[in-house]
Structure 1
Amino acid sequence: MEIISIIVLFVSFFALLLIKVPVAYSIGISTTLSLLLNIDKLPGITTIAQRMTTGIDSFALLAIPFFVLAGEIMKQGGIANRLINFAKSLVASLPGGLAYVNVLASMLFGAISGSAVAAASAIGSIMTDRMEEEGYPRALSASVNITSSTTGLLIPPSNILIVYALASGGTASVAALFIAGYLPGILLGFAIMGYIAFIAINRRYPKGERSTFSEIWTYFRKAFFSLLLLIVVVGGIVAGIFTATEASVIAVLYAAVLSLVYGDIKVKDFPSILLSSGKTTSVVMFLICTSMAMSWLFSFEGIPEMISSFLLDSLNNKFAIFLAINIILLIVGTFMDMTPAVLIFTPIFLPVVTTLGMDPVHFGIVIVLNLCIGICTPPVGTLLFVGSGVANVSVTKVIKSLVPFLLIMIAVLMLISFIPEISMFLPNLFEL
């Protein structure tokens, strides 16, 4: 009966995805159908409802709606423009300078807002037109924007790292994950910049004017309080002054006061901001509900143990196992959103990698970077569609330009997967 339940679970899930049923509903329906093969209808449905409810009964998850709200305030509060101007003053004079500005601004805004989608829409809407004026194809601008926006999911504060901390069952703390994401996120940003330098020199893209120290200082002062949010939030968590959840509330208050002081938003704008962030939060929380139910069903059916035994018995080389897990996650990422993927596959693969000596914090960075690549690729590719829409370019044109950037992201993924010191240097330094 267990094998039949597993078959029904996966067949129904993929069938629902193929007919374009939303991911959260696909997860919930397939989980319910599979469980009803083992127990009666009433207790089965009650169990699913109970697992969905208890799945979000976590203090740590309170950080997500607040970080979403903080990101929405920043998106509408003029912070993106200040970060772009500061980034431009630093790197615009280099070959392909505006593309560097796009990457650096996306890294800064994505890190501050904790949202790749917010970074792609806020930075892309400003930079695409500027880059086109200097001869950059819109498809290239979109590709730079899409891939560089993922760095904000690694550089803290990051909602998806909070979700992973929940899925890891407490074996990886939010503070350790936050500090571990810095070097991989920065490495990814620099790798994208390296490819931009290569094509900028070959295609002779223009250089911008070199900023004087006085101009750099002026733009830094204007962006200072936006950048300070990173130090306040992450520094407070690492120092143990407050938890990630408390930090998210501080981020909201800080962003709201800063945006009001800048004068870019008014008090009357807050109802629409709250409504927009509420919609985003409801989608994320519903995904978490259904994903936690499916994760429980996996445990109920013994799927993690089956996969763990299969991998450990069939691939006795730990490098081969790590590579196989990476390939599976890359495939999963192409058709599943990050939140359910983390919640569903962490309990499956975490026991395998920890058995082989991989730190749970390191694996958290690996799984998130895998899924960062997934949200840049079709058919689901949330970031791909947002970036293409903002740039007003067809997805087909963007994909052609996007391929080299995806290969660079995969190369960085391999480095981070097999060189754990990249992720673990800072957590070990701070003894987290």
Structure 2
Amino acid sequence: MLYIALMVICFFVLMAIRVPIPFALLASTLVYYFGAELPLNIVVVRLLRSFDSFILLAIPFFILAGRIMSEAGISDRLIRVADLIVGRVKGSLAYTNIVVSMFFGGITGTAISDTTAIGSILIPSMVKKGYSRSFSAAVTAASSTMGPIIPPSLMFIIYGSIAQVSIRDMFLAGAIPGLLVGISQMAVVKIHAIKNDLPRREETISPREAWIIVRDASLAILLPVIILGGILLGIVSPTEAAVVAAFYAGIIAMFVYRTLSVRRLLTVIKESAVETGSVSIIIAAAALFGWALSNEQAPQMFAEWLMDSSLSKWQILLMINLMLFGLGMFMDSIPAIMIVTPVLLPLFNILNIDPLHAGLFMSVNLITGLATPPVGCCLFAASIISESPMEKISRAILPFLIANVIVVLLVTYIPSISLFIPSLLK
């Protein structure tokens, strides 16, 4: 266990000096391998085995589908639909920001693409209408955290592959928590709108204009329906659904909306490959780190230590949530879920916690870190787009983070929130 302790210490030291997470994971894991005098060919084998899962093939195709939809200008159409729904409410653009994030999250499954695609359009519009730059950036960063919860979700795919949980059930279980995040953020906007007398859309939209808006966006909104419908009906697996999503996105972008040229499509494919490579490096490095922990039975020892601590089940869950929230503040959600899942699964088994339920509250907790200071990537993206200092955005986003934390606690202590929809379709 000495070398495991050194490995963990080395990892946090490297993170503290801003070494990229994949390299911090690899370098710290090598400390264990050299200390334990294990042959280096095991490192290579473990790196390769980390991709020995058919379900992981879904990742590059979902990334490609999201990229295509972003490049095709889908966000404009979704924003018009969201404005049609909530545009007449006080603080309408802030509500629109949240609603369109629900739509966009169901297409891309990632938070950072949500922040950049929606923020680049809505943040300038909000500022022009009288919203403060910091609040505009805060609501954009906060609402984008719904992306990794509302299916399809890369986090769910990775968690399901590690915990051997049905990806279909993960997608279904994410629906209600994702909606709860959106509703809680709307409650924050409601309070802010009343307090600061935020504006709303004054002009009315005729039925004919409303029909045109819905018609123009219908094919984009149909994409998550195709993904989930195909999986639920047993027509396609999650991996096959990802391929269908990428193909469908390419067809409507090039031949229906005609907003994506062949040349630009090739560039999008290249960018998607680079992003997939970045995710793959993280997956491999985190898997290697996790194997080192498992090899020394660190997860089992951690579980036994907690069980011997005479803490109640709800206190243990609170401790886990505090640990995850702290981790999410400094680490991206994908490597975090890969590191903590093997560590916590034995504990969940002892506590008789459904791994599907565990995956949901862990995911909702970790994605909150994407918009949490000091290093939330969505926060940085929103800061750049809004040209507002991180300090101001960090203050403005606090009410939204509190709303997210409340949802985390609800999902943690009320398992039926996550398990209700999957149980209906068993």
Which residue among 363, 372, 378 is the counterpart of 1:377?
372
Structure 2 counterpart of 1:66 = 61
Structure 2 counterpart of 1:38 = 36
Which residue identity lines up with residue 266 of structure 1 in the other structure?
A: S
Which residue identity lines up with residue 123 of structure 1 in the other structure?
A: I
Structure 1 counterpart of 2:8 = 10
Shift of 1:175: 0.2
Which residue among 321, 325, 335 is the counterpart of 1:326?
321
The answer (yes or no) to whether the contact 1:93–1:211 under 8 Å persists in 2 is no
Q: Answer yes or no: is 1:304 the counterpart of 2:299.
A: yes
Q: Answer yes or no: is 1:96 the counterpart of 2:94.
A: no
The answer (yes or no) to whether the contact 1:90–1:211 under 8 Å persists in 2 is no
Q: Answer yes or no: is 1:388 the counterpart of 2:383.
A: yes
Structure 1 counterpart of 2:113 = 118
Q: Answer yes or no: is 1:233 the counterpart of 2:227.
A: yes
Deviations 1:289-325 (A, max 9, x none): 0100011111001110111001111143110111111
Shift of 1:417: 0.7
Aligned equivalents of 2:103 and 2:205: distance in 1? 19
Which residue among 222, 238, 244 is the counterpart of 2:238?
244
Structure 2 counterpart of 1:180 = 173
Worse-matched range after superposition: 266-275 or 185-194: 266-275
Shift of 1:144: 0.6
Shift of 1:94: 0.3
Q: Answer yes or no: is 1:190 the counterpart of 2:183.
A: yes
Q: Answer yes or no: is 1:414 the counterpart of 2:412.
A: no
Name stretches of at least 5 consecutive residues in structure 2 with no aligned partner.
none
Structure 1 counterpart of 2:78 = 83
Aligned equivalents of 1:55 and 1:22: distance in 2? 20
Deviations 1:266-309 (A, max 9, x none): 11111211121111111100000010001111100111011100
Shift of 1:404: 1.1
Which residue identity lines up with residue 85 of structure 1 in the other structure?
A: R
Output the TM-score relative to the length of structure 2: 0.97
Aligned equivalents of 2:62 and 2:300: distance in 1? 35
Output the TM-score relative to the length of structure 1: 0.96
Deviations 1:141-162 (A, max 9, x none): 1111111111111110111100
Which residue among 143, 167, 184 is the counterpart of 1:148?
143
Structure 2 counterpart of 1:217 = 211
Identity %: 38
Name stretches of at least 5 consecutive residues in structure 1 with no aligned partner.
none
Aligned equivalents of 1:234 and 1:305: distance in 2? 36
Aligned equivalents of 1:214 and 1:200: distance in 2? 30
SS at match of 2:151: coil
Shift of 1:390: 2.1
The answer (yes or no) to whether the contact 1:335–1:380 under 8 Å persists in 2 is yes
Q: How many residues align?
A: 424
Deviations 1:138-193 (A, max 9, x none): 1111111111111111110111100000121x1x1100000000010011001101
The answer (yes or no) to whether the contact 2:4–2:292 under 8 Å persists in 1 is no
Q: Answer yes or no: is 1:263 the counterpart of 2:261.
A: no
Shift of 1:198: 0.8
Equivalent residues in 2 for 1:255-294, closer than 5 Å: 255-260=249-254, 261-294=256-289
Shift of 1:379: 3.2
Shift of 1:218: 2.2
SS at match of 1:207: coil
The answer (yes or no) to whether the contact 1:167–1:342 under 8 Å persists in 2 is no
Structure 2 counterpart of 1:202 = 195
